[in-house]
Amino acid sequence: METKILTVNPENPELHIINEASAYIKKGELVAFPTETVYGLGADAFNSAAVLKIFAAKGRPQDNPLIIHIARHEDIYKVAAKVDSRAQRLIEKFWPGPLTLVLPRRAEVPEVVSAGLPTVAVRLPDHPVAVMLIEAAKTPIAAPSANRSGRPSPTSPEHVLEDLSGKIAAVLAGGSCRIGVESTVLDLTVEPPVILRPGGITPEMLAEVLGEVRHFSPQDLKAPKAPGMKYPHYAPKAPLYLIKAPDIGDSARNYLSQGKKVGLLVSYETREKYLKAFKGKLLTLGSQSNPSELLHNLYDKLREFDRMDVEIILAETYPEEGLYLALMNRLKKAAAGKFIS
């Protein structure tokens, strides 16, 4: 299959291009499209055969549920059987935006979308291209990230094509994604609500609306209710290890002394120190004082290491609070929990 590249203005999408992309969705094909978080790989959420193509293209296990994207607030009632007052308050505050809600699933939603669970994950993206595509397709769109399963998520059309060229019908190429990591996922089928995946909406922001919220813990995992809970994710090709910032130089030199080709992922604040003492490949993620910048750059930098001749990647760690919580979640997943102390 040849993947068609449909270049679109991300701020003022051309209707004829959106209509061309939506025609693929209506025919049961897959289209990658930009959101404010990452690029999604979309199919008609009510077409089981089309949804199965997502799993095949990505190499994604079918017990890993998908998120349904909608174009209007009221469309939530097409996929969710119950929308309680907590959900209403969150929708009013954070939609459109990077918040996914896990709610009871309507029977009309195919089981394959939710991995056979009685729940459904749904969000309203904050991106003109995404919203126009959903509206033009006249159906909610099921869409995980548009990458091969386990790889760093795509934040540009180039990333999508690296992983999925020839496996999907089209890419709506609308530039880079504003946030750069996936949405926060909040389970509202339990009390107190549980954050299944941290993202751009922080626990503090949720607590302002709901009061108590709880963080997901491994003992909660029976069947994953949201993407990113069970399987390895976000990993570059070389193994990645997390190290406390003061120790990263010594660890790098230790690996270099063994003849390893080492890459470092550091912040602006520590970059100069490592430039003077380290002869390996070094990439700067952003400023420690700007977690939004760190998040925005993360997947692009991990993919940049893939194009370098490195055998091991060492990355700094950050405090697990606020937006840094989402950053550390992705780094720990990319490292498969590997720390060097």
CATH number at residue 25: 3.90.870.10
Residue 232 lies in a domain: no
**123 labelled ligand-binding:** yes
Domain boundary among 162, 186, 220: 220
Backbone conformation region of residue 185, classed left if phi is above 0, alpha if psi is from -120 to 50, else beta: beta
Residue 259 sits at φ, ψ, to 5 deg, of 85, 10
**215 labelled ligand-binding:** no
Answer yes or no: do 197 and 270 share one domain: no
Answer yes or no: do 15 and 109 share one domain: yes
The predicted pLDDT at position 117 comes to: 95
**146 labelled ligand-binding:** no
The predicted model gives 116-142 an average pLDDT of 98
Answer yes or no: do 162 and 244 share one domain: no
- C-alpha dist (Å) from residue 106 to 37, 78, 129, 305: 26, 7, 26, 42
The predicted pLDDT at position 277 comes to: 65
The predicted pLDDT at position 218 comes to: 61
Is the torsion defined by CA of 70, 131, 124, 159 positive or negative?
positive
CA distance 161 to 251: 34
Give the percent of the chain with pLDDT over 90: 81
Asked whether residue 288 carries a pLDDT value surpassing 80, the answer given is yes
Answer yes or no: do 267 and 142 share one domain: no
**What secondary structure does DSSP assign to 300-329, as a single string?**
HHHHHHHTS--SEEEEE---SSHHHHHHHH
Range of the domain at 18: 4-220
The predicted pLDDT at position 225 comes to: 58
Is the bond leading into 192 cis (omega within 30 degrees of zero)?
Answer: yes
**47 labelled ligand-binding:** no
Q: What is the residue type of 38?
A: V
Q: Which of 103, 90, 114, 86 is nearest to 187 (CA)?
A: 103
Answer yes or no: do 146 and 118 share one domain: yes
Residue the block writes with tokens 């209707």: 15
Is pLDDT larger for residue 226 or for residue 187? 187
The predicted pLDDT at position 311 comes to: 92
8 Å CB contact between 154 and 161: no
Q: What is the residue type of 79?
A: V
The predicted pLDDT at position 255 comes to: 83
Residue 235 lies in a domain: no
Asked whether residue 257 carries a pLDDT value surpassing 90, the answer given is no
Answer yes or no: do 205 and 246 share one domain: no
**284 labelled ligand-binding:** no
Answer yes or no: do 12 and 82 share one domain: yes
The predicted pLDDT at position 256 comes to: 80
**86 labelled ligand-binding:** no
**48 labelled ligand-binding:** no
Q: What is the residue type of 207?
A: A
Domain boundary among 220, 255, 286: 220
Residue 312 lies in a domain: yes
Asked whether residue 234 carries a pLDDT value surpassing 90, the answer given is no
Residue 299 lies in a domain: yes
Answer yes or no: do 202 and 255 share one domain: no
Q: Which of 197, 172, 171, 204 is nearest to 182 (CA)?
A: 197
Residue 229 lies in a domain: no
Domain count, the chain: 2
The predicted pLDDT at position 271 comes to: 87
The predicted model gives 296-305 an average pLDDT of 96
**119 labelled ligand-binding:** yes
Answer yes or no: do 62 and 106 share one domain: yes
Residue 231 lies in a domain: no
Answer yes or no: do 308 and 174 share one domain: no
Residue 73 lies in a domain: yes
Answer yes or no: do 256 and 216 share one domain: no
**139 labelled ligand-binding:** no
Is pLDDT larger for residue 246 or for residue 121? 121
3-state secondary structure of 184: strand
**226 falls in which pLDDT band (50, 70, 90)?**
low
Domain boundary among 220, 249, 280: 220
Answer yes or no: do 43 and 157 share one domain: yes
Q: Domain with 298 in it: what CATH number?
A: 3.40.50.11030
**183 labelled ligand-binding:** yes
Residue 40 lies in a domain: yes
- Determine the angle formed by the axes of helices 85-94 and 203-210, rounding to 10 degrees: 130
Q: How many CA atoms lie within 13 A of 282 on its CB side?
A: 20
Burial class (CB in 10 A: 0-12, 13-18, 19+), 44: buried
- C-alpha dist (Å) from residue 133 to 17, 218, 300: 9, 36, 25
Residue 106 sits at φ, ψ, to 5 deg, of -70, 145
Mean pLDDT (the chain, rounded): 92
**184 labelled ligand-binding:** no
**151 labelled ligand-binding:** no
